[in-house]
C-alpha cells in the first residue's frame, strides 16, 4: 500500500546568522575603523588650515637679484603664499613666481618655524627678439626667448620662431671672427630660406647667404675680415656709403649701394 508523500520542510540551523560569523564581524569592524580614521584625518586637516597656528610671517630671498624688484616679489608673495607653515602650496607659489618678468626658474622650501625660503634664477639677456603682440621679448644666454624689456644696449636677432638658439650660437661664432678687425654685430637676421645677414657696428651690412658644405659661412666671413682692413683703410667713406657687402660669391664679394 503506497504512502502519501508530504512536503518536507528544512529548518535553518541556529549557527547560520550574521552574528554567529566572527570573520564577517571582524571585517566590518576593520572597515569601520578605516573609515573613521580617514574622517578624523580629513577633519583634522580642515581644522589645521583654519586654526591660526604657525602662520607665515617672513619670506627669505636667498639669491642676489639684478632685474627682479623687491616690490614684485612682495606682490607675488601676497597673492601666492596662502595658508600656514604646513598647508601652504609650494608648487602653486613656485608657478606664480616663475611668471614674473626676468625670472627663469624659482624654488621654494619651508623655513622653520614661520618662513619660506625663495631662490630665483634670473634671465641674463644676450639679445633682443622680435616683439610678440606688442610685448618686448629678449633672448637669454641659453638661447631661450622670454618676455621682458630693458634699456641695455643689445644686438637684435630676427628669425623664424624657435631659431633663437641657432642665432645665438652663430652670433658668438661670428663675433670671434670679427674681433680680428675690431668690429661687432648689432643685428643678425636669419630668413625663412636659411640665409644669414649681419649688420656691423660701423653700419656695414654683410650678406652671407645660406650655409653650404662647399662654401661655409665661416669661410665667407674670413674672406671679409681679410680684405676689410685694405678696403676700409683706403676708402672708408666709400665703404660706408655703399653699405652692403655681398659675400655670397664663391671666390670674392660685391659692394652694393645702400638703400638710404
CB 119 within 8 A of CB 73: no
Angstrom distance (rounded) from CA 247 to CA 217: 9
Q: Where are the domains of the chain?
A: 58-122, 125-256
Half-sphere exposure in the Cβ direction for 73 (13 Å, CA): 23
In the chain, which ranges are continuous DSSP H helix?
Answer: 22-50, 70-80, 90-98, 164-178, 217-242
For residue 43, the tally of other CB atoms under 10 A from its CB is: 10
Do 85 and 112 touch, CB atoms closer than 8 A?
A: yes
Answer CATH for 58-122 from 1.20.210.10, 3.40.50.720, 3.10.20.310, 3.60.21.10: 3.10.20.310
pLDDT string in tens for the chain (260-residue length): 445 455 555 555 555 566 666 777 777 777 878 877 777 776 666 655 555 677 889 999 999 999 999 999 999 999 999 888 888 999 999 999 999 999 999 999 999 989 999 999 999 999 999 988 888 999 999 999 999 999 999 999 999 999 999 999 999 999 999 999 999 999 999 999 999 999 999 889 999 999 998 889 999 999 999 988 876 665 555 556 668 999 998 888 887 766 65
Q: Single out the residue of 185, 189, 240, 196 nearest to residue 219, CA to CA.
A: 196
Strands 156-158 and 58-61: unpaired
- Distance, in Å, from the CA atom of 58 to the CA atom of 1, rounded to the nearest integer, reads 104
Global pTM?
0.74
The helix (run of H) or strand (run of E) holding residue 88 is none
Superfamily of domain 125-256: Cell division protein FtsQ/DivIB (3.40.50.11690)
Nearest CA to 257 out of 223, 246, 234, 197 is that of 246
Residue 1: what pLDDT?
A: 45
At 144, give phi and psi (nearest 5°).
-95, 140
8 A C-beta contact, residue 160 and residue 167 = no
Amino acid at each position: 500500500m503506497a504512502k502519501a508523500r508530504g512536503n518536507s520542510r528544512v529548518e535553518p540551523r541556529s549557527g547560520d546568522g550574521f552574528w554567529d560569523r566572527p570573520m564577517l564581524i571582524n571585517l566590518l569592524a576593520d572597515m569601520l575603523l578605516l573609515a573613521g580614521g580617514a574622517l578624523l584625518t580629513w577633519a583634522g586637516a580642515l581644522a589645521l588650515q583654519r586654526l591660526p597656528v604657525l602662520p607665515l610671517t617672513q619670506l627669505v630671498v636667498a639669491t642676489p637679484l639684478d632685474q627682479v624688484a623687491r616690490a614684485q616679489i612682495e606682490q607675488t608673495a601676497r597673492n601666492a603664499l596662502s595658508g600656514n607653515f604646513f598647508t601652504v602650496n609650494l608648487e602653486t607659489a613656485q608657478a606664480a613666481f616663475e611668471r614674473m618678468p626676468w625670472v627663469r626658474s624659482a624654488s621654494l622650501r619651508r623655513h622653520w618655524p614661520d618662513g619660506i625660503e625663495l631662490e630665483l634664477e634670473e634671465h641674463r639677456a644676450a639679445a633682443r627678439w622680435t616683439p610678440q603682440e606688442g610685448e618686448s621679448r629678449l633672448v637669454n644666454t641659453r638661447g631661450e626667448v622670454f618676455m621682458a624689456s630693458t634699456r641695455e644696449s643689445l644686438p637684435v636677432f630676427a628669425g623664424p620662431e624657435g631659431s633663437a638658439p641657432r642665432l645665438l650660437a652663430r652670433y658668438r661664432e661670428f663675433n670671434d671672427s670679427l674681433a680680428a678687425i675690431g668690429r661687432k654685430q648689432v643685428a643678425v637676421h636669419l630668413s625663412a630660406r636659411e640665409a644669414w645677414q649681419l649688420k656691423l657696428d660701423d653700419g656695414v651690412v654683410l650678406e652671407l647667404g645660406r650655409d653650404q658644405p662647399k662654401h661655409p659661412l665661416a669661410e665667407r666671413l674670413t674672406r671679409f675680415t681679410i680684405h676689410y682692413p685694405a678696403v676700409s683703410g683706403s676708402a672708408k667713406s666709400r665703404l660706408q656709403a655703399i653699405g652692403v657687402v655681398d659675400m655670397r660669391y664663391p671666390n670674392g664679394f660685391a659692394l652694393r649701394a645702400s638703400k638710404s
